[in-house]
């Protein structure tokens, strides 16, 4: 094998790879990201911003083979998208191995600019994973700046990657915002290089322990009780029975029957969490924007069969060795090297991704490209420009394009890219719901021309003219999601998988007659009289907007947790949890002007616990609020106090450590309020109450709940008497019922359907019936159910009501996170330590996706209940009117599911028939070829026998020649049949299809939908409900559609169009058809 690899180094390789654009700047996805596809690996480049993993789900982009992340741009706030993606990859890639010779899990390599290690290490208090090898490689900005001959930062069997560390150079200043080569930072203070190295080592260890620790849940360590940090659960082994007996200790002065010197067993804390405080990142280079140049390896030349024969070689295995780069010998003993029969190699093709945050970065990039000469740009076929801040219109940028006009320039800029709706499935679902009750269900706002991007119309018109006329020989095009750039074996830009932008108002969506029959006779309360898609901001009563209603990880239909409470009479707005993508959801509900007012009036954010799906969007919202208030204050409006951020102390510590990356002090972003269920609220160690502010909250009470460390439920009473309670994630809690008694509105999680009690207990969540029981025990006037674990849209199953039971507080002390991925628990620990059932479920899952299983028990008939969907907005007085809509909504989802199931079955049958036919034809052809090559035609009598032998030899040589040519050739035509993948897989578990781009792959492997996974992400809940699916056939592409500049567009008659039926998860079937690869794609829900 090593000999084979060494041989390939000499003659080059033959590869097939392409890149595809995942996201461009929109309200949903503020960053630009691309994925590079090889047969064996995937690599992601660009900005892994919030919404990136959800966009991958929607587009059906598999992440199982992702082995590298190359983060472009500045290290500022990217944890919202990056951490979510890493946690998903941790679960998706369970079971993956490095190679056939190794059972180790493949390592994920993250390449980024300065401060990325610090950024990730800040998250150590809430990221818990084991068995996921991960390495963060920070590029040395100073070496890159001063050494023009810096080599690749990454090299493997597929690619080589060079990094460019671009720094700002304002026109009127020569100062750089970075640490200089002499050891001084931009402010002139001295940097201790040795201390900086020690700090980086600490951060590296922390990040490693966050993802690849050897910590085990079932490991106990011996200690004296006086050395244990209380409160804690400890164990003492009974000397007679040898069993472990557990004790909950709260107060060191009251531990009877144990004494301070008693030897106890205790769990060690998670290793990464033992680091109390990170050193600030102030000594690291700041303001650096990362760009990358990526190249494949040298490509092998053509094999000259005639030359090989003339040298005395016979066709067969000996040819294969030469192609593999090995020398061979003739029968006469002459050595033939590969170079004697293979034409010279050519440099591998590649691409670049350049990130320019503002015009101040242009000179630095230009100088670095000039200093490295033409060698760095050699072989590049395309450059992806990620620009902002007026870069498009700068003469220096246009001159830079002109200098490199020999390549295709693809530009991703907020001014140029439309604000299309990224999450099509959710948008179409919201559109259908709005046909039932437009008063409650908002259609996502979209503006494909401007969005949230103010621009100079004249400057944009001038730049668009350059795009249209190819002025000065420039080949420029805007970036589009789904765009493919084929790099090897031939360069081609393929737009066939670029979806049409969703124009929701143009969608012909109507309700089925059977759905209309179930609607109330009087529908006037459910429809807006003005037909407006965006509601006015004026309120006469509290309003609840459920921005995210899903559990654990973003999905096609539901984003992660966030609830906005808007109070009337100038009492402000309040967010309860703030998962990834919350800011994007707000932008889909409100216009730019309305969102300015929403953020200007934001008074508080409550974070219930530190699972990633409940808080990764917090910093983005706080930064947007900060910028909005700054901008409006410059226009003459008084600047309000920052909103209160109320959560457990670890959330506050997280923000404090991250401020050295954002360079915005915590107190400028928010008023940091640490909240403890016993000790109450505190501001920097001093008692706090809302009388110190202008926030109209009379009382805020919390209670510890059974879910994870620090999880709390909250009840808020406003000065006007309105009482709002929010559960966060938890098991039913009797004390929560007490503090929330007589609530006007209770928003409670209902992660699992009734009948899945075992799953709810194991994952520390509630069933629908348990959530209703809490509302009844609390005597809440209105209940909104949210946080659903669903792979499809439906009404949750309610079959019985279960009232909350009393749980002693000591039972909540051992708050080991049930959603942490750890090693298996031993039998003894299961019984004696955890006191939890060994089975993950005590009841069988539902037989299928029942969408009409709301069977209301008598005890709940007088309770006003609302079921949350993303972007739903409802006033308090309207909640009581929602129940009559449940039958129609259930029926609508049921009919949609039936349609998708019929389509899925029909296309699955057609695909199977096609694959079987191709396999049969191929088997026959191979058999005929084998017989012809080995045996030749039947012998003939008489004078024809000699001619027959000659013909047989000719045919055999011809067949061998064709076979060799076929082995050398690669796919030189574009894909002959394709469907743009419209939606896809949840980024966790085994539902990701194995998307090998192998010519010889011959399989039908449908992907299951969101929650059909085995893994979990950021505290992912999993269910075992049978997935269902739908597929849609799309006409084949016309290979002749490729135009002269290497850009492919589908003919109008075969263009993929978006229909009312959501095109969901992509399924690929690849079969051989001669030398080129034929790919058939379908979709299923």
Average pLDDT, the chain: 79
* CA 760 – CA 780 distance, rounded (Å): 23
- The answer on 468 and 361 residing in a single domain is yes
| Residue 832 pLDDT greater than 50, yes or no | no
Same domain? 232 vs 338: no
Q: What share of the chain is helix, strand, coil (3-state, %, to 5)?
A: 30, 20, 45
Instruction: Say what the pLDDT of residue 804 is.
Output: 87
C-alpha–C-alpha distance, residues 364 and 164, integer Å:
10
Is residue 249 assigned to a domain?
yes
Domain tally, the chain = 3
The domain boundary residue, chosen from 451, 477, 494: 494
* DSSP output for 286-341: -S-EEEEEEEEPPBP--B-HHHHHHTTPPSSHHHHHHHTT--EE-TT--EE-GGGT
Residue 855: band (very low, low, confident or very high) from pLDDT cuts 50, 70, 90: low
Tokens coding 401 = 């394009």
When pLDDT is averaged across residues 802-820 and rounded to a whole number, the result is 67
Ranges 24-28, 80-84, 1074-1078: which has the least confidence: 1074-1078
Alpha helices in 27-158 (DSSP H): 52-59, 79-92, 116-121, 141-146
Mean pLDDT of 572-577: 98
In a domain, 1084, yes or no: no
The stretch 1011-1036 carries a mean pLDDT of: 36
Residue 170's CB is within 10 A of a number of other CB atoms, namely: 13
Place of tokens 């503002």: 358
Instruction: Flag the least confident range among 307-311, 462-466, 911-915.
Output: 462-466
Please check the confidence at residue 196 and state whether its pLDDT lies above 70: yes
Do both 70 and 90 map to the same domain? yes
Looking at residue 1018, its pLDDT comes to: 37
- Cα separation, 1047 vs 1040, in Å, equals 11
Determine, yes or no, domain membership for 448.
no
Q: How far apart are CA 750 and CA 767, in angstroms?
A: 5
Q: Is 688 helix (H, G, I), strand (E, B) or coil?
A: coil
Residues 159, 238, single domain; the answer is no
Say if 971 falls within a structural domain: no
pLDDT given at position 460: 66
Is 141 within the bounds of a domain? yes
The residue that leads in pLDDT, 758 or 808, is 758
pTM of the shown model: 0.79
Between 178 and 760, residue with greater pLDDT: 760
Report long-range pairs for 504-509 (Cβ below 8 Å, ≥24 apart): 504/421, 504/427, 504/428, 504/431, 504/443, 504/444, 504/446, 505/443, 505/533, 507/428, 507/431, 507/1060, 508/1060, 509/428, 509/431, 509/432, 509/435, 509/1060
- Indicate whether 906 belongs to any domain: no
- Residue 91: pLDDT above 70? yes
Task: Give the mean pLDDT of 807-836.
Answer: 46
Q: Which carries the bigger pLDDT value, residue 793 or residue 754?
A: 754
pLDDT of 598 above 80 = yes
What percent of the chain stands above pLDDT 90?
46
CATH of the domain at 127: 3.60.15.10
pLDDT at 969: 43
Q: What region does 379 belong to: left with phi over 0, alpha with psi -120 to 50, or beta?
A: left
- The per-residue pLDDT for 1006 is 37
Three-class secondary structure assignment of 157-193:
CCEEEEEEEECCCCCCCCCCCCCCCCCECCCCCECCH
Instruction: For residue 962, give the H/E element and its range.
Output: helix 944-968
Residue 69 has pLDDT above 90, yes or no: yes
- For the stretch 583-597, pLDDT in tens is 999 999 999 999 999
pLDDT band at 11 (very low <50, low <70, confident <90, very high): low
- Has residue 849 got a pLDDT over 50? no
* pLDDT score at 286: 85
Q: Is the dihedral of CA 890, 893, 894, 895 positive or negative?
A: positive
Q: What is the mean pLDDT of residues 127-149?
A: 79
> Phi and psi at residue 269, in whole multiples of 5°?
-70, 160
- Amino acid 1057: pLDDT: 35
Same domain, 261 and 355: no
Task: Tell me the per-residue pLDDT of 619-651, one tens digit each, with 9 for 90 and over.
Answer: 999 999 999 999 999 999 999 999 999 999 999
Lowest mean pLDDT: which of 437-441, 677-681, 812-816?
812-816
Within the chain, what is the greatest distance between any pair of CA atoms?
115
Confidence of residue 1061 (pLDDT cuts 50, 70, 90): very low
Assess whether 395 and 336 both reside in one domain. no
Give Cα 237 to chain centroid, integer Å.
45
Q: Tell me what pLDDT residue 501 has.
A: 75
Q: Does the pLDDT at position 98 exceed 60?
A: yes
Domain boundary among 291, 324, 343: 343
Q: Which residue has the higher pLDDT, 8 or 189?
A: 189
SS3 589: helix
Over the Cα atoms of the chain, what is R_g?
Answer: 31
Q: What is the pLDDT of residue 597?
A: 95
Q: Is 72 a domain residue?
A: yes
Is the same domain home to 326 and 375? no
| pLDDT surpasses 60 at 980 | no
* Shared domain check, 332 and 258: no
- How large is the average pLDDT for residues 405-433? 91
Quick check: 42 and 608 in contact, CB under 8 A? no
DSSP state of 281: G
The pLDDT score that the predictor gives to residue 1055 is: 35
Question: Worst-scoring range by mean pLDDT, 114-123, 204-213, 864-873, 975-984?
Answer: 975-984
743 or 831, which is more confident: 743
CB–CB of 576/739 below 8 Å?
Answer: no
pLDDT of residue 609: 96
Give the mean pLDDT of 869-878.
96
State mean pLDDT over 889-913. Answer: 90
Domain residue limits at 170: 2-175+280-301+344-443+460-494
| More confident position, 1048 or 164 | 164
Same domain, 366 and 434: yes
Any domain includes 61: yes
pLDDT at 1058 over 70: no
Q: Tell me: pLDDT of 362 over 70.
A: yes
Check residue 1076 and report its DSSP letter: S
- 3-state secondary structure string, 99-132? ECCECCCCCEEEEECCCHHHHHHHHHHCCCEECC
Identify whether residues 322 and 378 lie together within a single domain. Answer: no
Q: Are residues 155 and 11 in the same domain?
A: yes
Q: CA-to-CA distance for 894 and 441, rounded, in angstroms?
A: 19
Task: Give the separation between CA 981 and CA 22, rounded to whole angstroms.
Answer: 12
* Between 848 and 427, residue with greater pLDDT: 427
pLDDT at position 811, please?
64
Lowest mean pLDDT among 603-607, 853-857, 943-947, 979-983: 979-983
From 517-531, 588-602, 669-683, 1000-1014, the region with the lowest mean pLDDT: 1000-1014
- Position 248 scores a pLDDT of 81
Q: How far apart are CA 713 and CA 808, in angstroms?
A: 16
Pair (433, 294) in one structural domain: yes
* Per-residue tokens: 178: 């970075």
> Which residue, among 1004, 976, 1002, 991, has the nearest Cα to 1064 in the 3D structure?
991
pLDDT band at 542 (very low <50, low <70, confident <90, very high): very high
Contact status, residue 141 vs residue 167, Cβ threshold 8 Å: yes
Q: Return the pLDDT at 1070.
A: 34
Q: H-helix or E-strand containing 668?
A: helix 666-669
**Best CA proximity match to 34, nearest among 291, 282, 266:** 291
* pLDDT score, position 844: 37
The arithmetic mean of pLDDT across residues 842-859, rounded, is 52
Query: Quick check: 668 pLDDT over 50?
Result: yes
Residue ending a domain, among 209, 244, 267, is 267
* 779 against 314, higher pLDDT: 779
Residue 529 DSSP symbol: T
Position 242 confidence tier, pLDDT thresholds 50, 70, 90: confident
């Amino acid at each position: 094998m090593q000999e084979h690899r060494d041989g390939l180094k000499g003659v080059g390789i033959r590869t097939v790879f392409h890149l595809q654009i995942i996201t461009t700047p929109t309200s949903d996805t503020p960053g630009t990201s691309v994925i590079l596809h090889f047969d064996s690996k995937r690599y992601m480049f660009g900005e892994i911003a919030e919404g990136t993993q959800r966009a991958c789900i929607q587009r059906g982009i598999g992440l199982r083979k992702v082995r590298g992340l190359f983060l472009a741009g500045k290290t500022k706030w990217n944890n919202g998208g990056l951490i979510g993606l890493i946690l998903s990859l941790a679960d998706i890639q369970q079971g993956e191995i490095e190679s056939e010779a190794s059972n180790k899990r493949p390592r994920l390599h993250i390449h980024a600019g300065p401060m990325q290690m610090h950024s990730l290490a800040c998250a150590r208090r809430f990221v818990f994973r084991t068995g996921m090898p991960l390495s963060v490689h920070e590029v040395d900005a100073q070496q890159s700046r001063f050494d023009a001959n810096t080599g690749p930062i990454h090299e493997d069997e597929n690619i080589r990657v060079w990094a460019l560390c671009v720094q700002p150079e304002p026109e009127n200043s020569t100062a750089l915002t970075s640490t200089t080569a002499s050891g001084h930072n931009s402010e002139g203070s001295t940097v201790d290089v040795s201390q900086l190295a020690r700090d980086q080592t600490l951060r590296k260890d922390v990040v490693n322990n966050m993802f690849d620790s050897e910590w085990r849940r079932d490991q106990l360590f011996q200690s004296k009780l006086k050395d244990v940090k209380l409160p804690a659960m400890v164990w003492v082994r009974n000397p007679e029975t040898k069993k472990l007996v557990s004790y909950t200790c709260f107060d060191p002065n009251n531990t009877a029957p144990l004494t301070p010197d008693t030897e106890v067993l205790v769990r060690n804390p998670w290793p990464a969490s033992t680091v109390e405080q990170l050193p600030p990142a102030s000594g690291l280079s700041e303001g650096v924007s990362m760009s990358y140049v990526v190249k494949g390896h040298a490509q092998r030349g053509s094999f000259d069969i005639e030359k090989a024969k003339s040298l005395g070689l016979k066709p067969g295995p000996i040819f294969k060795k030469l192609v593999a780069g090995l020398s061979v010998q003739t029968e006469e003993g002459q050595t033939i090297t590969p170079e004697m029969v293979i034409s010279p190699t050519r440099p591998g093709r590649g691409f670049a991704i350049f990130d320019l945050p503002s015009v101040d970065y242009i000179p630095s990039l230009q100088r670095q490209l000039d200093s490295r000469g033409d060698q760095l740009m050699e072989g590049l076929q395309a450059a992806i420009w990620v620009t902002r801040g007026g870069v498009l219109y700068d003469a220096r940028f246009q001159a830079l394009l002109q200098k490199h006009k020999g390549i295709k320039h693809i530009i991703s800029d907020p001014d140029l890219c439309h604000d299309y709706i990224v999450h099509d499935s959710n948008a179409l679902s919201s559109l259908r719901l709005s046909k039932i009750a437009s008063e409650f269900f908002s259609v996502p706002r979209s503006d494909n021309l401007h969005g949230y991007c103010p621009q100079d119309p004249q400057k944009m018109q001038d730049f668009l003219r350059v795009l249209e006329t190819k002025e000065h020989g420039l080949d420029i095009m805007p970036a589009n999601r789904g765009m493919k750039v084929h790099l090897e074996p031939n360069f081609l830009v393929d737009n066939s998988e670029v979806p049409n932008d969703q124009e929701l108002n143009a969608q012909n969506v109507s309700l089925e007659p059977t759905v209309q029959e179930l609607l109330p006779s009087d529908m006037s309360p459910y429809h807006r009289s003005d037909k407006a898609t965006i509601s006015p901001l004026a309120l006469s009563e509290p309003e609840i907007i459920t921005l995210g209603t899903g559990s654990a990880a973003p999905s096609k239909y539901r984003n992660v947790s966030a609830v906005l409470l808007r109070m009337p009479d100038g009492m402000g707005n309040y967010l309860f949890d703030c998962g990834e993508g919350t800011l994007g959801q707000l932008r889909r509900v409100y216009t730019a002007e309305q969102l300015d007012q929403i953020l200007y009036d934001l008074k508080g954010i409550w974070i219930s616990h530190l699972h990633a799906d409940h808080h990764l969007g917090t910093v983005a919202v706080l930064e947007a609020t900060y910028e909005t208030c700054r901008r409006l204050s410059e226009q003459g409006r008084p600047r309000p106090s920052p909103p209160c951020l109320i959560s457990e102390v670890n959330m506050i510590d997280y923000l404090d450590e991250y401020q050295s990356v954002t360079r915005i002090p915590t107190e400028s972003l928010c008023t940091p309020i640490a909240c403890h269920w016993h000790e109450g609220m505190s501001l920097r160690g001093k008692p706090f109450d809302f009388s110190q502010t202008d926030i109209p909250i009379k009382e805020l009470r919390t209670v510890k709940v059974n879910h994870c460390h620090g999880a709390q439920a909250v009840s808020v009473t406003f000065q006007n008497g309105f009482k709002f309670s929010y559960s966060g994630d938890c098991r039913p809690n009797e004390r929560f019922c007490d503090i929330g008694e007589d609530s006007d509105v209770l928003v409670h999680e209902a992660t699992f359907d009734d009948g899945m009690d075992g799953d709810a207990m194991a994952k520390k969540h509630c069933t629908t019936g348990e959530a209703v029981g809490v509302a009844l025990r609390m005597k809440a006037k209105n209940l909104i159910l949210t946080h659903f674990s669903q792979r499809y849209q439906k009404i949750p199953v309610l079959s019985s009501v279960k009232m909350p039971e009393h749980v002693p507080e000591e039972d909540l002390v051992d708050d080991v996170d049930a959603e942490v991925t750890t090693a298996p628990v031993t039998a003894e620990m299961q019984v004696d330590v955890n006191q939890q059932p060994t089975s993950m479920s005590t009841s069988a899952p539902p037989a299928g996706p029942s969408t009409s299983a709301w069977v209301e028990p008598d005890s709940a008939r007088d309770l006003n209940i609302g079921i949350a969907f993303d972007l739903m907005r409802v006033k308090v007085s309207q909640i009581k009117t929602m129940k009559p809509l449940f039958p129609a909504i259930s029926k609508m989802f049921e009919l949609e599911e039936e349609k998708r199931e019929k389509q899925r079955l029909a296309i699955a049958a057609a695909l199977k028939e096609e694959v079987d036919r191709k396999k049969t034809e191929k088997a026959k052809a191979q058999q005929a070829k084998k017989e012809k090559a080995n045996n030749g035609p039947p012998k003939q009598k008489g004078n024809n026998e000699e001619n027959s032998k000659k013909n047989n030899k000719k045919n055999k040589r011809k067949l061998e020649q064709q076979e060799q040519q076929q082995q050398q050739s690669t796919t030189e035509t574009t894909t002959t049949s394709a469907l743009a993948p419209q939606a896809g897989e949840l980024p966790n578990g085994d539902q990701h299809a194995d998307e090998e781009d192998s010519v010889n792959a011959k399989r039908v492997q449908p992907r299951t939908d969101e929650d059909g996974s085995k893994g979990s992400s950021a505290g992912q809940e999993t269910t075992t409900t049978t997935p269902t699916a739908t597929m849609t056939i799309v006409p084949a592409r016309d290979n002749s559609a490729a135009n002269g500049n290497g850009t492919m567009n589908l003919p109008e008659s075969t263009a993929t169009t978006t229909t009312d039926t959501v095109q969901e998860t992509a399924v690929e079937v690849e079969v051989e058809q001669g030398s080129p690869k034929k790919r058939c794609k379908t979709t299923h829900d």
